[in-house]
Structure 1
Amino acid sequence: MQLGIYTKEFKYNWQLAAPVMLGMLGHTFVSFVDNIMVGQLGTAELAAVSLGNSFMFIAMSLGIGFSTAITPLTAEADAEQDFRKGKSAFKHGLFLCTVLGIALFLMIYFAKPLMYLMKQPVEVVELAIPYLDLVAFSLIPLIIFQAFKQFSDGLSMTRYPMYATILANIVNVILNYLLIFGKIGFPQLGIVGAAYGTLASRFIMVGFLWWILKGNEKSKLYVTHIKLFVLDKLMIKKILNLGAPSAMQMFFEVAIFTAAIWLSGLLGKNPQAANQIALNLSSMTFMIAMGLSVASMIRVGNQKGLKAYFELRRIAYSIFILGAIFAVLFGIMFFALHNYLPKLYVDYNDITNLADNTEVVKIASTLLIAAAIFQISDSLQVIILGALRGLQDVKIPTIITFISYWVIGFPISYFLGKAEAYGSFGIWLGLLAGLTTAAILLYIRFNYLTKKLITAENGTS
């Protein structure tokens, strides 16, 4: 088997995935800057942002996961040159995402008292609650933005969401700096200032993306004159059937990382702050894999629309190989720099908190070794999941992700993550086990489905 049949796709895969990667990296970069800024206030503030965001990650996973249903439907309609089908997928997806965004905001708003029941440090909880009020409201524009983004991705117009994200990120960083520290006459709001920055940037993000899409000839007719409340039950059912399992897939994965935050909180504020550092760094590399996952979903969706199943499999494998190459490089980087990267997040000149900061860096350095090891499995599982969504195969992958993360991964995190066992490192060993299981089982599923489609294609030709 010649490697060249796969590597020749690298250039186009990269052109499609790079804007998505940059947009997603922008989100994570803002989180990275937020964490560095908030880390200057103290470890309790950093832990509070981590705890507040743990609730947000769960809600976002459901919203973003659900919105991915729009991409394969749009990509398939685009390949078939069926405008009515494409606009229907977008309109109904936008309606459902808006409803979901409001529901998720209300869910988070009324779930805040749970923080006191989770045995988290009281100091951390009291800082997290006012932060979470504002960030939770930002879920509404964020999930609406996702509807526009997934539609744009489905038309292979991946650059536009990137532009909107970059603009929002610039606004976020500037507002965070002004409001966290109270610069040039602005009030000094601490971590609540970071929440205001997030809220404002997300409203700007959705407005800007709509404005760009409205000005483009290919997308203009899709995003204008939308009769949002004239709905087709069949299309709603189709999006729900694709979106609900996709939401649960992302939820199962994000929830185990959220559980890692909560388990770290049981060990104390310093392990929780260290977990946030390692999570933030590893999430930045994960965005590369997420970009390739979107490319995988688009290209597989296109080939499904064309019923070109042999090409579909070849193209998907080319993306898997590209993802594995990136993952190996990131794993080497984390391993080589595991003692240095965590130091970016703390202030060693702060004599008062020097002991806490030193402990946080020591724990985070160890966690980055685990992060280095799971780069390959984390990357491959999300890229293969994207390919399966492109095939509109979502139910079995949902079961696979549940088993991988919650039947295998979480029990390992729970038992090895106790203070008398391996502590923080034990929690991350559970993450490693869950991600590796998911990568293997999802690959087996993709391999089985594509071979079956190719056999059927050859049988009818």
Structure 2
Amino acid sequence: MTKRKEFLKEALAIAIPVALQAMLQSSFSMIDQLMVGQLGKTAIAAVEVGGKPQFVFAFVSGAIATVTGIMVSQYMGKNDQKKINTSMSVNLLVMLALALFTMVLCLSLPSELAGIFTKDSSVVLSAKPYLQILAWVYPLSGISTLLAVQLRCRNRAKYPLYISAVAALVNTFMNYVLIFGHFGIAPMGIKGAAVASLLSQVVNLLLMIYFYRRTCRFAFDLHMKKAEVVQYIVMLTPIVVNELLWTIGQNVNTYIYGHMGTSELAGMSLTGPIQGLFIGALSGLSQAAGILIGRRLGEHDYDRAYQDSKRLCLYGFVASLILSVILVLSQGFYINLYNVGDDVSRVGTQLLITFAILAPVKVQNMILGGGIIRSGGRTKYIMIIDILGTWCIGVPLGLFTGLVLKLPIVWVYFILSQEELFRFIVSVFMFRSRKWMNTIQ
């Protein structure tokens, strides 16, 4: 019983700050949506479309951060500072390359990117400047993400939390000033939301650098042996390919919703922030799984790693059930915060209830696939599971039910989300096999 209490305390010490930070980051999009939501459904749809490249970047950069966390946590278990420095250095370069590529793409092809997801020319026109301003966010958020990883691995998860709280306040205040026009500044509409996000990320990065330098030892070191380079590529490639293909699949879903109508797209976009808050509230358990189980594997304590993994899955299941009930009871209040018509409100309400039903399975996949199984460095297993789920189940079902059968959007969303059930079943078999357990060199 004492060991269980100690493990729970250790897990919560990582999970709670990470969860609160993720919720604060999700609040960026919620604040944008709530304030932009007062401008009507075209503005809501434009922010949804304009945020899609950021959605892709967040998950692919998150993949790089996951690999960084695997490497740093295992090398911490071995007390190898030199390899920690090398891990951070190499991943920083990879992150910057990804961020600059995404930035150039958004600056040069904003209308083309927005036009992928909707036929409504007014939505595309509104989304264009939003995309171009947000382009400058990617290098800032990419570097901040990696710095936060090492702070968490060193049990300093509270610092990224505090920083995110400050950034969220900056974002909220600047949204109020710039979107609607206050203190002598002309109203900027959704452009103001993008500028506010950029300013908040500047503050976020500056504070992250300050606390990182106070807490972590770091020396830039790109020297890796040939075997280590191969090991790194074997870990990084599957997870980046996995996240990229998964996010492309999610963007195909947005394409489906957008071609079903602007009201459907706006209704779905209303659910995005609350889904982000829900998943963010439990993302800390996934992060805790990656760090704690990674340490156990680095120490070659495989039995303890397996038992601790089961405990984390149980914690996530119970917490997700509680949050689902809360979401069902409060969905009416949330939807009424937006200045939208009855058609959009109805769609948003139905989708939130559907998400609440699906959420416990989504959370288990996040903890199992996103944290536990990946902690051993054998990321190809999750890549295969996710690609099969997204491209053999989710995307085909979405295209067929949405564009061929033309079912109501709530049924399209529910049916294509059965990919989550597939992932869960396969992940459980993989977990029980223990083949994912591995100590990196």
TM-score (norm 1): 0.89
Gaps of at least 5 residues in structure 1 are 348-355, 455-461
Shift of 1:170: 1.2
Of stretches 262-271 and 128-137 in structure 1, the one that deviates more from structure 2 is 262-271
Q: Is the contact between residue 249 and residue 390 of structure 2 (CA under 8 Å) also seen in structure 1?
A: yes
Q: Do residues 273 (structure 1) and 251 (structure 2) align?
A: no
Preserved contact between residue 47 and residue 190 of structure 2 (Cα < 8 Å): yes
**1:163 corresponding residue in structure 2:** 162
1:329/1:257 Cα in 2 relative to 1: closer, same or farther (>3 Å)? Answer: farther
CA displacement at 1:431 relative to structure 2:
4.1
What is the 5 A alignment of 1:354-373?
357-373=341-357
**Amino acid in structure 2 at the alignment position of 1:23:** Q
In the other structure, the counterpart of 1:351 is none
Q: Secondary structure at the match of 1:422?
A: coil
Report how many aligned residue pairs link the two structures: 436
What is aligned with 1:101? 99
| Contact in 1 for aligned 2:68/2:146 (Cα 8 Å) | yes
Change (3 A) 1:280 1:147: same
Say whether the 8 Å CA contact 1:338–1:366 is kept in structure 2: no
- Partner Cα separation in structure 2 for residue 117 and residue 17 of structure 1: 37
- Work out whether 1:337 is the aligned partner of 2:337: no
Instruction: Determine if the alignment matches structure 1 residue 154 to structure 2 residue 153.
Output: yes
- Structure 2 CA distance for partners of 1:452 and 1:177, relative to 1, 3 Å: closer
Matched, 1:442 2:441: no
Partners of 2:47 and 2:117 in 1: CA distance: 16
TM-score, normalised with respect to structure 2: 0.93
Q: What 5-or-longer segments of structure 2 have no aligned partner?
A: none
Aligned in 2, Cα 1:8/1:253: closer, same or farther, shift over 3 Å?
A: farther
Q: Distance in 1 between matches of 2:331 and 2:169?
A: 28
Of 285, 305, 313, the residue aligned with 1:320 is 313
- TM-fit CA distance, 1:122: 0.7
> Contact between 2:321 and 2:360, CA under 8 Å: does it hold in 1?
yes
Q: Please state how far the C-alpha of 1:451 moved relative to its aligned partner.
A: 9.0
2:292 match:
299
Query: How many angstroms does 1:154 deviate by?
Result: 2.6
Q: Is the contact made by 2:389 and 2:422 (CA closer than 8 Å) also made in structure 1?
A: yes
Greater Cα offset, 107-116 or 72-81:
107-116
Q: Which amino acid counterpart does residue 317 of structure 2 have in structure 1?
A: A
| Cα 1:199/1:452, change in 2 over 3 Å | closer
Please state if 1:18 is matched with 2:16.
Answer: yes
> Deviation per CA, 1:124-171, whole angstroms, max 9, x where unpaired?
010001000011221111111112122222333222222222221111
1:56 to 40, 43, 54: 54
> How big is each residue's C-alpha offset from its partner over 1:99-141, in whole Å with a ceiling of 9 and x where there is no partner?
2211221233344314335542111010001000011221111
Aligned letter for 1:169? A
AA at the equivalent of 1:406: W
Q: Distance in 1 between matches of 2:347 and 2:214?
A: 49
Moved more, 202-211 or 257-266: 257-266
Distance 1:449 1:91 in 2: 31
Number of the residue aligned with 2:83: 85
Structure 2 counterpart of 1:215: 214
How far the C-alpha of 1:275 sits from its partner, in A, is: 0.1
Bigger shift: 271-280 or 9-18? 9-18
- In structure 1, distance between residues paired with 2:438 and 2:127: 50
Deviation at 1:419, TM superposition (A): 8.2
Relative to structure 1, the CA distance from residue 271 to residue 77 in structure 2 (aligned partners, 3 Å threshold; closer, same or farther) is same
Which residue matches 1:390?
375
Aligned 1:180-195 pairs, distance under 5 A: 180-195=179-194
Q: Which segment drifts farther, 157-166 or 35-44?
A: 157-166
C-alpha distance in structure 1 between counterparts of 2:152 and 2:412, whole Å: 35
Matched, 1:289 2:288: no
Counterpart residue type for residue 422 of structure 2: T
CA distance 1:378–1:252, shift in 2 (3 Å): farther
**CA-to-partner distance for each residue in 1:6-57, whole Å, 9 max, x for gaps?**
6763332112111111111001112111100000011100110001112221
* Aligned-partner Cα distance in 1 for 2:24–2:363: 18
The answer (yes or no) to whether the contact 1:182–1:189 under 8 Å persists in 2 is yes
Aligned residue type for 2:73: A
Q: Give the whole-Å Cα distance in 2 for the aligned partners of 1:190 and 1:156.
A: 40
| Residue number in structure 1 paired with 2:244 | 251
In the alignment, what sits opposite 1:352? none
CA contact (8 A) 1:413 1:429 kept: no
Q: Give the one of 220, 224, 231 matched to 1:226.
A: 220
CA distance in 2, matches of 1:27, 1:166: 9
Q: Is 1:374 matched with 2:377?
A: no
SS of equivalent to 1:187: coil
